Structure 1
Amino acid sequence: MRLQQLTAEHRDAILAFETLNRDYFAASVPDRGDDFFADYPARHAALLAMQAAGTDHFHVLVTEDGTIAGRVNLVCVEGGEAELGYRIGRDFAGRGLATDAVRQVCELAFAEYGLKRLRAATTVDNHGSRAVLLRNGFTVVGETTLDGQPALLFTRA
């Protein structure tokens, strides 16, 4: 597996990844909605524009044959901070890939992107996501709700 920064060439593979895993992801995080899938080429172009502007850093976890196994993103970059988000496809879950990919993105965040603090949130019942964050040095700093579900806030400096 290789972690790569998002490029235009990833567009079709990401759409396939999101489509294939839509129901799987919707079981633990809010669904992206039909509009996300209907006009994904425009969405992908917008992501690349945000990345070029430096407001976001998008990454994909790619297998040797070019299949997208996961995504790890740093969004809302401002004042030396960013919000971390990630998802690993059903066929790749349970192998430690999320933990490793998040570790790699944290290293990039601090060494390459010049960030000083990362934020993340996950619902209380998403034990896998909580474990990934804790394994990567995040600490719980508060509580919130995500789509009406109880959630925890995390940071890592």
Structure 2
Amino acid sequence: MIKIELVRADHAPALLAFERANREYFAASVPDRGDHFFTEYAERHAALLSRQEEGTDWFHVLLDGDAVVGRVNLVEANDGSAELGYRIAESATGRGLATWAVGEVVELARGYGLRELRAKTTADNLASRKVLTRAGFTETGELEISGAPGFGYVLAL
């Protein structure tokens, strides 16, 4: 059974393994994070936890037992609005996990006091666009994501 938890310090090794195992898969649809992401992971994880403690970001991990199969994050909270982003392991795709997890985190966002969520995805990531639409997001227009065409989305809570 899949469960969602706020990221903790002890999730770091499993999250790093998740990112490494899925790096090539993720890079096929979103800009690659680069080698520095992996070599500086411990410092980055600690910084994320600090932002979570400050209440500006919420990082959620999707666990199947002890294995990370995805993450859904709410970042850059400001004036009741935050940006939603997510990643699902290649081995867990095609089962509705992304749609379910985004829906769950939308509900959690209400509890965090957020009133609006923003999201973006590349134009060629049709699966992500469908997930956002199913979760109630509305397309706001075209934008550029690391040099690639994309779309912005918004959801009023």
The residue number in structure 1 matching 2:74 is: 74
| CA positional deviation for 1:147 | 1.3
Normalising by the residue count of structure 2, what TM-score does the alignment of the two structures yield? 0.97
Match of 1:3 in 2: 4
Runs of 4+ in structure 1 over 3 Å off:
none
Equivalent pairs, count: 155
For residues 132-147 of structure 1, the aligned pairs below 5 Å read: 132-147=131-146
TM-score by length of 1: 0.97
Where 1:32 maps in the other structure, the secondary structure is coil
State the 1:6 CA deviation.
0.4
Write the mapping of 1:82-97 to structure 2, written as runs, cut at 5 A. Answer: 82-97=82-97
Partner Cα distance (1:42, 1:141) in 2: 34
Alignment match, 2:100: 100
SS at match of 1:141: strand
Shift in Å, 1:149:
1.1
Percent identity for Structure 1 against Structure 2: 55
Greater CA drift, 141-150 or 94-103: 141-150
Q: Which residue of 2 aligns with 1:37?
A: 38
Distance in 1 separating the partners of 2:84 and 2:30: 14
Q: Distance in 1 between matches of 2:17 and 2:147?
A: 29
CA distance in 2, matches of 1:10, 1:60: 8
Structure 2, unaligned stretches of length 5 or more? none
Q: Calculate the aligned-residue CA RMSD, in Å.
A: 0.6
- Structure 1: runs of 5 or more not aligned: none
